[in-house]
Chain A
Amino acid sequence: MTAPIQVNSFRTGPDERGHFGIYGGRFVAETLMPLILDLERAYAEAKADPAYRREMDGHLKNYVGRPSPLYLAERLTAHFAGAKIYFKREDLNHTGAHKVNNVLGQIMLAKRMGKPRVIAETGAGMHGVATATLCAKFGLKCIVYMGAVDVGRQQPNVLRMKAMGAEVRAVESGAKTLKDAMNEALRDWVTNVSDTFYCIGTVAGPHPYPMMVRDFQSIIGIETREQMQQEEGRLPDSLIACIGGGSNAMGLFYPFLDDRQVEIYGVEAAGHGLKKKHAASVAGGKPGVLHGNRTYLLMDDDGQIEEAHSISAGLDYPGIGPEHSWLHDVGRIKFLSATDKEALAAFQLCSRMEGIIPALESCHALARLGDIVSNKPKDHLMVVNLSGRGDKDLDSVAHHLGGKL
């Protein structure tokens, strides 16, 4: 399954039924099937409508604040004494993470489809905040499902969502984290079929979500190409991003997939370690079906889904986007992992050396940086997707470091 397969292009998926190789698909209850087909149609129409694209570009520029800078991290580069390290600064977007790129596209689509009510699931709360933000801007009702554990560890984001008029519903079932929030959001959708748009936060779920979210997030990689050309006169040599569901990673990677000389690294959350509780679905899981798609999942021998664990609420999910699963199998993305402890160390290093407080999610990518760049020549250009800012994690980090920030 992991032996590289020869393919002509890595950018042709999904097929018309939503498959990336054996992954993806539309594994949903019949009640939702007509809704998903409607969404697929509506998205295809919007995509073909230049006015939709124009409006989106305007909001990306003036509301989100794009393009986000490509920043040369000089002190970290000197610290590791290897490749040149650039940060793609998604943390500087309005709402503080890459999530807004996708939410903008989906909320504009909700508006087009005449759906007055928007639901979303959230882990770290960044997707919830982005959804609450754009629902406020576009005047839509917003309900965010969030695991009760995450409500506890991401209070600042809960308050931000409430401040913008969203209703945050704490989910008490299962492990009370992202997986359970997604179950509850699906239950809401199945109940409120006529007026509700489900705004999924990552490149997962039933077709067309993985494709649609990827398309919206691809702005990250498209800008990175242009910016690196301007800065260095050529493409980067390697890319690295953290992967939970994998939307920030897919957004950076997708425009580079067919530039085969560009090395691509995805970093999963190894939690307490890959032999203990973790959230690394590729490293520790196998293909299965959950939440509308076939993909790598953490599960037991009887097909029961296992609870994931990561210090980072945004990576605390037992699955991964189906396109990532395929890109792993065909050998285009190299998957690595970082533990909670390594992420915390990277949090401190980046904050102190660059004056940038990264989200704990992004810290997983930063944690693997040293291993890779140290073995590269000084003219090697590496881009890290700094997917979000870490203000939301300060309490949690202080707690894990025993009060010593």
Chain B
Amino acid sequence: MTTRIDRRFADLKSEGRAGLVTFLMAGDPDAKTALAILKALPKAGADVIEIGMPFTDPMADGPAIQAAGLRALKSGQTMVKTLAAVRAFRKDDDTTPIVLMGYYNPIYIYGVAKFLDDAKGAGVDGLIVVDLPPEEDEELCLPALAAGLNFIRLATPTTDDKRLPAVLKNTSGFVYYVSIAGITGAAAPDVGQVHAAVGRIKRHTKLPVAVGFGVRSAKQVKDIAAGAEAVVVGSALVNAVAKSLDNKGKATGRTVKAVTNLVSELASGVRGPKKAK
């Protein structure tokens, strides 16, 4: 079985370049603006789209993504609305992979079976659930794989060679390498160490490796892309949303553009300078 994610990485390989994975929070700053941003992402240069499912207690996230989740919740975002946004996106785009990323509790409360049905039906391709390590695979990972969704696991600097096989075992689509021991939006990773770590993962798997956490500039994207199949940018994009808001935290005429401009700039890191403008 191939998914949109598999096909996209195959295409990237034949184009001979790495992909840009963008992360934004569903419903940030409001459902309508977030959908406008979502629809504009592929054209701006996003190859794979991660959508955050907001949660009140994001233990692995830094201040930028914490704030984005709270903005979304305050504007009334729910799981139902997040899935509706994916469905709306799929009306115009049937190729760009969509990965939902977040924490387990909102999925557990929605109901695992119903969530998988509805996510698949809406056009979701993969899931990243931060607080579900391989030790808890029965909760969601195995049912998700059975439902035909990719389950993308995080590998981190603390995942040693002994543990990597357990982490990779039920991973599909791609492996997300967390470039630093830390929270999202933290210090920039050391490129040399990242390349070494990705090389280590590649000795254990044929899956594409995407690298994220702490990546915020086109230069970093380019440097990391030299040794990985994709680069993930999240906090920097979420910050672009935050900075475009008015003093009441509402979207402005600049909001969508602020994000797409930054995505285009970051995409130049994987596409070469000719498409930078």
Contacts and interface: CB of A to CB of B under 8 A. Distances in A.
Interface of A: 17, 25-35, 173-174, 179, 183, 186-187, 190-194, 288-292, 297, 299, 301-305
A305 B105 contact: yes
Contact of A30 (B58, B106, B178): B178
A30 B155 contact: yes
B60 A187 contact: yes
B136 interface: yes
Given A30-B167, A191-B182, A302-B78, A288 B105 contact: yes
A191 B107 CA distance: 26
Contacts of B163: 33-34
Contacts of B134: 33
Contacts of B78: 302
Interface residues of B, number: 43
A305 B109 contact: no
Interface in B119-159: 130-136, 153-159
Nearest to B153: A30
Contact of A17 (B73, B135, B154, B158): B135
A193 B158 contact: yes
The CB with the most chain B CB atoms within 10 A, among A25, A30, A192, A303, is that of: A30
Contacts of A17: 135
A237 to B, nearest CB: 39
Contacts of A301: 109
A222 B7 CA distance: 62
B157 to A, nearest CB: 8
A187 B107 contact: no
Interface of B: 54-60, 62-63, 66, 73, 78-79, 103-110, 130-136, 153-160, 163, 167, 178, 181-183, 186
Contacts of B157: 31, 193
Nearest to B81: A302
Given A187-B59, A290-B57, A193 B108 contact: no
A42 to B, nearest CB: 16
Contacts, number: 115
Looking at chain B's contact residues, the main secondary structure is loop
Contacts of A291: 57, 59
B73 to A, nearest CB: 6
Given A190-B181, A191-B182, A303-B106, A30 B154 contact: yes
Contact of A288 (B59, B79, B109, B186): B109
Contacts of B156: 29-31
A179 B159 CA distance: 27
A19 to B, nearest CB: 10
A290 B134 CA distance: 17
Contacts of A290: 57, 105
A173 B163 CA distance: 33
Contacts of B55: 303-304
A279 to B, nearest CB: 16
Contacts of B54: 304
Contacts of A192: 181
Nearest to B80: A302
Contact of A25 (B59, B136, B159): B136
B59 A299 contact: no
A191 B181 contact: yes
A31 B158 contact: yes
Contacts of A29: 59-60, 130-131, 133, 154, 156
A274 B57 CA distance: 23
Contacts of B73: 304
A302 B158 contact: no
Contacts of A32: 158
Nearest to B107: A303
Contacts of B56: 174, 304-305
Given A190-B183, A303-B106, A304-B56, 6 more contacts: A25-B135, A30-B155, A31-B158, A174-B57, A183-B59, A304-B73
A192 B181 CA distance: 7
A268 to B, nearest CB: 20
A381 to B, nearest CB: 42
Given A303-B110, A305-B105, A26 B133 contact: yes
A299 B103 CA distance: 14
Contacts of A174: 56-57
